[in-house]
A = this chain, B = another copy of it.
């Protein structure tokens, strides 16, 4: 009987480092750096989007009117969501690099990372949708509600917004890929045991 019981203990404790997740962790850090870069550039591009134009208000009278992102609550939420994503990516890159130097990330830490990744995916996707919905009205207008398009006047403002939207879409995709990657690594860890 004792000869059968003894191998159980080393088998259970040696099971932990069976699957080497270092490769997955390098891709993870690369995706987080991409997320950081995309979110940061999106914020900068949107913040610098202000454009002032002379708008005719009466025959022979034109006043300078500025288009700023602060004029729409959707863009303010957009900036807030991307700022959170940017800050989050800095923290997680630092933690991931630390884990990489120590040789690997623990399952518990990976579980916590991917929980926040999924939460941020929802927040950033909603922000992209909100800003995109309002931008579409600004770009095309809406004849039914008599909302006039403004992008024919504020061309540079709209170009900034479109670039910012594209970058936040990239951020959302990076977050989705991060969730998928973590799931893949977790399922590999289960399969290897």
Contact = CB atoms under 8 A, between A and B. Distances in A.
Q: Is the contact region of chain A dominated by helix, strand, or loop, or is it mixed? A: helix
Q: Which 10 A-B pairs have the closest CB atoms?
A: A129-B129, A126-B129, A130-B133, A129-B130, A133-B133, A71-B144, A125-B125, A74-B133, A147-B147, A111-B187
A70 to B, nearest CB: 9
Interface in A2-57: 3-4, 6-8, 11, 15
A150 interface: yes
Interface of A: 3-4, 6-8, 11, 15, 67, 71-74, 107-108, 111, 114-115, 118-119, 121-123, 125-134, 136-138, 140, 142, 144-148, 150, 172, 175-176, 179-180, 183-184, 186-187, 189-191, 193
B186 A187 contact: yes
